[in-house]
Structures are given as C-alpha cells and as structure tokens.
Amino acid sequence: MTTSIRRMHLTGAFFANAASETNGMLEVSGGCWSSTTVPPGSTGFLTQLVLLADVGDDSVGQEYVVCVDANGPTGSRWTAALSTPFVVTEFLVFMITPQIMLPIEPAGGRHVYNVRIQGQHNQIDLPLQVNVASG
C-alpha cells in the first residue's frame, strides 16, 4: 500500500490594498490589481499579498518560505525581491503578508511578479501595469 503525502502548494495570489482574517474568513479591500499608479521617481509600491494555497496532510507545523521575484519592462530583475518565512499552524486556504514594498522601474510599465514557495517548482505570475502619475 502506497501512502500519498500532500504538501502545501500555491494555487493563486493577488495584490490588495488591505487584507485581513476574521473568524477564518478572508476580508479584502481593493484586491486583484491589474494596475497601480505611483508618484514620479518611485522605485517601489506598497501592497499586501494574498496567497491562496492547498494545504497537504503533512504541512501543519512545517516552515515554508514565500519568495517574490520581480521583472521590469526593460529587463530589470529582482530575484527574491521579497523572501519571508512562515509556519503553517493550521489547515488553511489563504495567507496574508503584512504590508510589503515591492520594487519597480522608475519609468513604470508592465512588471511581472513571480510568487513561489522556495524549493517548489510551481509559481504564480502576477502581471501589473505600473503607471507614473503626472508630476
């Protein structure tokens, strides 16, 4: 008899203005961005990242590291622009980062953020059009 072990893996992710958990339910304000606007000269933007996950039988009590890589429109790359460890304390379907700053190219344009669990092959790509406000 073969035993199948299911480890946690990401199934989705999105940026939000604000996100929190109330009674095991996800509360989101301003979620699922396709674009954001930043002041002239900005090199980053603030957001919360909501991660959707399939938690396996052996995931509870395990530490994982969420990594976000960033790719700018002219070829700038920030590998592990964000790297944050967390421990799965219970069966869950979502996780929320604290407010984070992610890098951008100052001229804006289409950026792609790759969200992954360190050591796993699957990743979630989050394209984001970064607009620069007129000064």
Sorted by where each starts, the structural domains of the chain and their CATH numbers stand as: 9-132 (2.60.40.1930)
- Averaged pLDDT for residues 116-120: 92
- Averaged pLDDT for residues 106-111: 98
Size (the chain), residues: 135
Task: State both tokens at 61.
Answer: 């009590």
- Averaged pLDDT for residues 109-117: 97
CB neighbour class for 66 (10 Å; exposed up to 12, middle 13-18, buried from 19): buried
- Averaged pLDDT for residues 93-116: 95
pLDDT of residue 6: 59
78-96 pLDDT, tens per residue? 998 999 998 887 777 899 9
